[in-house]
Amino acid sequence: MAARDDDADFGSKQDALPKKPCRSGRTGMRPFGTLGPRVEVEKYREQLEEKAAAVRAALRGAVLEAVLEAMEVFPSPPTGHRHRAGPFAVRRPSSALRASQGLYLEMSMWDPVARGHSLVRASEVPIYSAPIAAAMEALRRLPIELDLELLDEDEPDEDHDWEKAGADQDSAPNAWGQVIGRGLRTIQFHSTLSGELMVCLTYSDERLRTLKRGEKLPGEDSSSWETSAQGVAWTSAAREVRQALSTAVAAVGFSQPEIDVVGRWRRRRLCVDRDYVVERIALADGRELEYRQPEGQFSNPNVPCEVHCLDWLCREAQLLQQEAACSLGSSSSSSVRLLELHCGGGNNTVALAPYFEEVYAVEINRSLADACEHNLAANHIRNVRLLRAPSAATDATAAAACHAVLVDPPRSGLDDETRTLVAGFDHLLYISCNPAALAEDLRFLGPDFEVLKLALFDMFPYTTHAECAVRVRRRVRRWSVIPVGRLLRQLASPWWMPLTVIATAAVAWWLRQRRCRGQFFIS
């Protein structure tokens, strides 16, 4: 990724950036924009080859050389691949741009190297999906009046008359722009392949900073936030924004797009109709999956590349299932059960569930767990048990009942407790957004495990970030037919413990009987 001429000092600071994520949302990377690096679409293939070489180098020593050379590389669309954008800080354009081009706001990200706000325009950063790019350009030209005093000083404004602001919207054609702009700080976007779009506007209100949980503002004494004067005024103004965005998205080829606008304050939230989008993904096995993705919760930003990842997981899950059934001595591969850690909103869970007899899915985040439960029901998945818990505290009964494990940890990799848990399985699927952390976890597993397959998914083009996936299997020892690790886990589980006690007592009784008859002597 080439930087501009005024970024010559970037190289000396590049190594320190990954340790301190910047506000660009691209961990350890400078944001694209007027101050940052340029998106070089013409060099995408070259940069992808460099990224693949870097991944091989990071995993060398933890993965066999033959597997590294056979690594599958799944490219991203060079442009229009990013379905999540922001948060962008809002800035007011100069008077010259406002007068000549009719611009009312600009969107920016903080550049930690240039120490300034780098303006981000969809026409200059062609990574965003068509709905997001259209919405970004439309918002720049909507008559949204930013509150300059609040932007500069964060001053409280306890005397603002929201009832008058709501009434003014009926008489003044652009009065809604003042309501939307008052206290506006950041904007985020979330789109889908089908053209759905959700825009989240984040606000600062000094009155809410010192407000304790459960306390109400003066205008909320007899009503909720939604029905207060400010809530009613904002919702009415947000509908105007939604109508303008619908027109802009329809103009780029999406007929009757589903647009939602969400407003966020400290411990307050308003939305026009919905606070989520619904993604629909067609897999190579013929299924079409439906996912609800809530506002503010994680979902993969590169949906076209995520489809490749799901197809790869389904293919490898079939092979894993067959191998696990064979090691269990089962004639039916459908008897294999899967434990999934860090399941999130059920993205992988929904796709892989049909390939297993049962799936135990673990997630600690309540919103993501609720989304996962909805997605399972929407896709008619009934063989998944959803457990709300930290991955490291996974119930021993659930772990002992499963034959394989799927992990999708954060960038830091697996924690020590989860590593120990994973090491007790014979079959492993591991999705990683950090090859260095993946290498460390594979080294922890040691020589008893081997990586069978490796894949690279370019979720973040034009950056150094790489998403990898591996399928790992415990090596089969010639002198061992029984999977000892799994046998010990099962014998220690609550399900097998009564049988273990009965069997031990029976053997002890038999030994006593033989000893009493003098057939052999035990010293």
Going by the annotation, the residues of the binding site are 363, 408
Largest CA distance in the chain: 109
Query: What is the C-alpha to C-alpha distance for residues 93 and 99, in angstroms, rounded to an integer?
Result: 10
418: three-class secondary structure by DSSP: helix
What amino acid occupies position 223?
A: S
β-pairing, 404-407 vs 337-341, is parallel
Query: What is the C-alpha to C-alpha distance for residues 235 and 253, in angstroms, rounded to an integer?
Result: 27
Six-digit token string for 158: 């306890």
Number of Cβ within a 10 Å radius of residue 92: 18
Active-site residue, from 271, 309, 433, 468: 433
31: three-class secondary structure by DSSP: coil
Query: What is the C-alpha to C-alpha distance for residues 435 and 444, in angstroms, rounded to an integer?
Result: 14
Sign of torsion over alpha carbons 439, 441, 444, 447: negative
Residue 82 DSSP symbol: B
293: three-class secondary structure by DSSP: strand
CA angle 368, 372, 377 (to 5 degrees): 150
Order of strands, sheet of 268-271, starting from the edge strand that comes earlier in the sequence: 116-119, 106-111, 84-91, 184-191, 197-203, 259-265, 268-271
β-pairing, 106-111 vs 84-91, is antiparallel
Query: What is the C-alpha to C-alpha distance for residues 145 and 147, in angstroms, rounded to an integer?
Result: 6
433 an active-site residue? yes
Annotated binding site for S-adenosyl-L-methionine: 363, 408
401's enclosing H/E stretch is helix 396-401
Angle between the N-to-C axes of helices 435-445 and 44-59, in degrees from 0 to 180, rounded to the nearest 10: 30
Q: How many Cα atoms within 13 Å fall on the side-chain side of residue 469?
A: 25
Which of 468, 473, 475, 474 lies closest to 71 in space, CA to CA? Answer: 468
Number of Cβ within a 10 Å radius of residue 97: 14
What amino acid occupies position 339?
A: L
Query: What is the C-alpha to C-alpha distance for residues 334 and 357, in angstroms, rounded to an integer?
Result: 5
User: Any idea which residues carry the catalytic annotation?
Assistant: 433
